[in-house]
Amino acid sequence: EILKETTLKGIADYIKSGKARNIIVLTGAGISTNAGIPDFRSPKTGLYSNLKKYNLPYPEAIFTLEYFKVNPEPFYHMARQFYPGYYKPTITHYFIKELQNRKLLLRNYTQNIDALERICGIEDGKIVESHGSFNYAYCVGTKDKPGCRKTYDYKWLYSRLFPLNKKFVIPRCEQCNGLVKPAISFFGEPVPDKVSECAKEDFPKCDLLMVIGTSLKVEPLSRLVNEVAPNTPRLLINKTMVSAFEIIINRDVIALGNCDETCLKLAGYLGFKNKLLQTYERETERLAQETEID
């Protein structure tokens, strides 16, 4: 048998027994909704339902390069609500960070573009952002001319998205005046190479897979969930059921509900619940004082 019991406690016992030393965590929007970041697909709070005022040809147009080059304004309005530094990491983010502290985290593959993984202190080398991130931006040109691809860092972009006491203006390339777009993957753009490079190396080593806050409807994570060995335990922490977990085998544990509450419960079984709460409170306080990026 793989797990003594297919419960959260069973997963905790498996970790405590020393069998899980290379944990892969797949995360999605559900881990950031408690930070106040809108989920793409939730009807009322979701991103798409808030875009009606822009009269987009279709909602997803906001994430296509063709439309961005014609009218980048809706994307940037959305980006400003989403921008890293504006939100604070959640208990779930600090739970994953604690796995890293304990040298148990092999990699965190995230669909999120909010960079909360970095902000909570997960190391750069441990993160794979499968849809890119706001960590840097580059020139994509305009509808009439290709971009020069000059890159800009996080602070450059931030100072333009949130200019002090000035009206927001669409960021333009200093070299060729093209439009500057954050390095997040738009529809039809290839998934970053880093995803398949890391996955090839990571998944054969994985001895526990955690899927947290994602319904796994989108490539590449939807594919990765099935890449672990058949005897590798998998834990699902999500509001709703995910089809990859529907065939019940004694390696799968399904914990439906709020990500933060479930991670706290698991931390309790692992003996670091109080530490996790203290870290969360201390760091949230520290980040609140640092809201200005120097």
Query: What ranges in the chain are assigned the alpha helix state H?
Result: 8-16, 65-70, 73-82, 91-101, 116-119, 154-161, 193-202, 221-224, 259-270, 273-289
- Helix, strand or coil, per DSSP, at residue 172: strand
d(CA 97, CA 168): 34
Catalytic amino acids? 131
Residue 274 CA to residue 155 CA, distance in Å, equals 34
Q: Is the peptide bond before 220 cis (omega within 30 degrees of 0)?
A: yes
Q: What is the longest distance spanned by two Cα atoms in the chain?
A: 63
